[in-house]
Structure 1
Amino acid sequence: MDDQAFQNRLLKLLEEIKQLAESRGLTTYSEMGEKCEDLLKSFKMLQETLDTLRLNIKYLQFDLETTKKENIALRKKLEERGS
């Protein structure tokens, strides 16, 4: 399940919880609503953190590849000077 599908499913479940609470006339609906909102905020923060992590990993991969290429080029220069 990808991120978008997971988020859509989570939002759908939260809506179902709200509707269930309304249909049963639960007095703790406001508390449940607050908890649902807190859960959504936490989920959004988690997604932002994962996005940042993905970006950092891409940067590190780029940096590693560049460093490898520079290392190969410098070794080649050293070999040329040595021979």
Structure 2
Amino acid sequence: MSAVITSLAPMAFAQDVDKDPGRGLPVEEYHYGMQLDVKNVLHRTDNSSRTGVVPVTVVYEDHSGELHKIRFLEWGGSTSNG
């Protein structure tokens, strides 16, 4: 899973939460070792204010122009002061 997070990190992510280009797409659950063909990331869940392990949904375009929606877990970006 960290390979997916690392491979998606350098890409520019869409910040507008109201516009979900993947609306209506089925969600694929990521499994370790899954091969992804990512040409362009169109939307990513903003977890910067969440703590702990949280679900992330990413909508991306593959090299043939098809859109995909995938979900995986990552550490939220916020820290808790107890």
- TM above 0.5, one fold? no
Q: Please identify which structure carries the higher strand content.
A: 2
Q: Please identify which structure carries the higher helix content.
A: 1
TM, length-normalised to structure 1:
0.19
TM, length-normalised to structure 2:
0.19
Higher RCO (CA 8 Å, separation ≥ 6 residues)? 2
Decide which structure has the larger Cα Rg and report it: 1
